[in-house]
Amino acid sequence: MTVNNLKLPSLSEVANIWQQTLHWTPTVQQQVQFQQLYEFILEGNRQFNLTRITDPQEFWEKHLWDSLRGIAPLLRDGGDENVISAPTLLSSLSFIDIGTGAGFPGIPVAITVANSTVTLLDSTQKKMTFVEKLRAALDLTNVKTLTGRSEEVGQQPQHRQTYDVALIRAVGTASVCAEYALPLLKQGGLAVIYRGNWTQEETKALENAVNQLGGVIESIEKFTTPLTDSIRHCLYLRKVATTPVEFPRPVGVPTQKPL
Ligand code: SAM
């Protein structure tokens, strides 16, 4: 496979999809960065075995579009006082991507909201080594990296109650994700939990966990992906009170004894 021959769908092919689904279109520069990201991941896959998603259309949908669909409420133009609107976003927010792996959703978000900072957190040093190389190659000056377990980072004063938005995709069950994310948020901050399927029963079960952590389930968005019509959900949790000091619990406890 020659990496240089593989091209993401061009901006003219997908501009309408971006606009219709996210009310936002990448600039030419952002499109160039998305292509660089894609090529860097393909190259890195040889050494780091990062993702099974290598086909350009699939990468565009499952890694780029899906990552940014999670922050669609932030990209949308104002209007609703309960979401952090585009003008607020333009004034710079601090994001943290918990369990970022090869940099998703955090890297596409960092490319898109260039004047906000995005901290990429993962417990695996190998993943962070790759992500640091990626950051340098794409010259993403708004990206910070952090190696550690979210259970520990969430108890560190320099990170606890610090972030405006926490993103978390494919890291654990929703209640585990909530326990990782809510302690890291400032009061008023937003956690975005990316899911595939989701049911009302799961919402009921999650409510109790989120309440214990000082949050509320603000909204749940169901949508289909634009190329393959796959079902997705994003859960938006608002932090409305201080998270009690016992959360997050020590390493491993959130998964072993979910709230
Ligand atoms: N978020 C990426 C994505 O959607 O492509 C990667 C998902 S991968 C399945 C899960 C990642 O979460 C792994 O890289 C793993 O090391 C990391 N992870 C799992 N538990 C963690 C924890 N408690 N703290 C930090 N990272 C964690």
Task: Give the model confidence (pLDDT) of 166-213 as tens digits.
Answer: 999 999 999 999 999 999 999 999 999 999 999 999 999 999 999 999
Query: pLDDT per residue over 24-70, tens digit each?
Result: 889 999 999 999 999 999 999 888 888 888 899 999 999 999 999 99
Query: pLDDT per residue over 90-141, tens digit each?
Result: 568 999 999 999 999 999 999 999 889 999 999 999 999 999 999 999 999 9
What is the pLDDT, as a whole number, of residue 86?
47
* Owner of token pair 């994310």: 181
Res 81 pLDDT > 60: no
Q: Ligand 1 test: best mutation among 58, 171, 247, most atoms within 8 Å of CB?
A: 171
What is the enclosing helix (H) or strand (E) of 18?
helix 11-22
Q: Ligand 1 test: best mutation among 52, 123, 195, most atoms within 8 Å of CB?
A: 123
Centroid of ligand 1 to alpha carbon of 20 (angstroms): 30
Taking CA atoms, 194 is separated from 71, 114, 147, 150, in Å, by: 10, 22, 21, 17
What is the pLDDT, as a whole number, of residue 102?
95
Q: Which of 94, 71, 180 is nearest to 143 (CA)?
A: 94
| CA–CA distance, 96 with 185 (Å, rounded to integer) | 9
Q: How confident is the model at residue 76 (pLDDT cuts 50, 70, 90)?
A: low
Residue closest by Cα to atom 14 of ligand 1: 101
| CA–CA distance, 73 with 46 (Å, rounded to integer) | 35
What is the pLDDT, as a whole number, of residue 3?
58
What's the average model confidence in pLDDT over 141-169? 98
Res 85 pLDDT > 50: no
Res 227 pLDDT > 70: yes
What is the pLDDT, as a whole number, of residue 74?
86
| CA–CA distance, 31 with 33 (Å, rounded to integer) | 5
pTM of the model: 0.94
Centroid of ligand 1 to alpha carbon of 100 (angstroms): 6
What's the average model confidence in pLDDT over 12-28? 91
What's the average model confidence in pLDDT over 79-100? 69
